Amino acid sequence: MPLSRRGRGPEPALRALLSQVHPVFMLPPIAASLFGGVLAGAFDPTTATIHATAIFAAVYTAHVKDGYVDFHVRGEDDDHPLTERGCRLALAGSTALFAACLAALWSLAGVGAALITLPTWLIGYGHAPQLDTNPVTATTGYPLGIALSVAGGHYVQAGAVGATALAFAAVFLVLLSGVKVIDDAQDYAYDRSISKRTVAVVLGRRRARTLAYLLMTAALVAVVAFAAVQLFPPSSALSVVAFGAVALVARRADPELATMLLVRGSYVFLAVLVAAVWFEPLA
């Protein structure tokens, strides 16, 4: 049985497997892992690469499992490049890669490094059909993965998770949860028709949008507060200006455009924070 639904042979199979690599959603967790390592000060490229690879494998697992459930199990999607067998083999491969990275982290950075990394795969594998049916876990799954990437990337370098890394992880969790509420609102009508309980379905679109912006505002206020008490570098407050400007524009847009703007705004937010930590221009 072929791996691809669009042809037989190695080339269609490879294309189908690569189709599950979504840079827009994969790069932020990987960048978050490396950012966590930068926060530690001392930076070992080997452990950083292994942890980033583990994060890649966890997110790949999430994409494959989500596509498998939505197309082959629920019948929600119109198309999917992988056959059922292809999905199972892709899941087996990404899980094996993740397990190898976990073993390497255990060997190089201790059991704690493996334990703090393991939940990223559990979230990815359990997103569909378990976590994505509850408004809380459907919203916080990806943001929690980002937060764990920051904390795990820091742990594998420092042997512990410091207050600064935890604070950054919390900021990303809250900010991206707000973005995710806006993102889920794109599918409000369809999700409501199949009784899928996203925040927008449970609260209604208007109240969900209000909640989303309250979460994002809380995250931005936290950045300013942490900068004021010198937990974050002073220049990290510039990230508030950058993301806040995007959020103001997105507030008047429809859910699809707002999501596009906010996702890209979060990239800028992370980039400014990385620059603030790396260069400390206002120190």
Rounded to an integer, the average pLDDT of 14-34 is 93
Predicted confidence at residue 31, as pLDDT, reads 93
- 77-101 in b/e burial notation, b at 16+ Cβ within 10 A? eeebbbbeebbebbbeebbebbeeb
Tell whether pTM > 0.85: yes
pLDDT digits (tens, 9 = 90+) for 102-140: 999 999 999 999 999 999 999 999 988 888 888 999 899
Is a pLDDT exceeding 90 seen at residue 9? no
Q: How far apart are CA 96 and CA 73, in angstroms?
A: 23
Predicted confidence at residue 37, as pLDDT, reads 93
Q: How far apart are CA 231 and CA 243, in angstroms?
A: 20
pLDDT digits (tens, 9 = 90+) for 222-262: 999 999 999 999 999 999 999 999 999 999 899 899 999 99
Predicted confidence at residue 121, as pLDDT, reads 97
For 89, list phi and psi in degrees, rounded to 5. Answer: -70, -40
Where do the DSSP E strands lie in the chain? none
Domain locations along the chain: 1-161
Q: How far apart are CA 148 and CA 106, in angstroms?
A: 17
pLDDT digits (tens, 9 = 90+) for 65-103: 999 998 888 887 788 899 999 999 999 999 999 999 999
Token pair in block for residue 112:
């704690």
Fold of 1-161: Tetracycline Repressor; domain 2 (1.10.357)
Q: How far apart are CA 51 and CA 117, in angstroms?
A: 8
Q: How far apart are CA 35 and CA 270, in angstroms?
A: 9
Is a pLDDT exceeding 60 seen at residue 283? no
Predicted confidence at residue 5, as pLDDT, reads 87
pLDDT digits (tens, 9 = 90+) for 157-183: 999 999 999 999 999 999 999 999 999
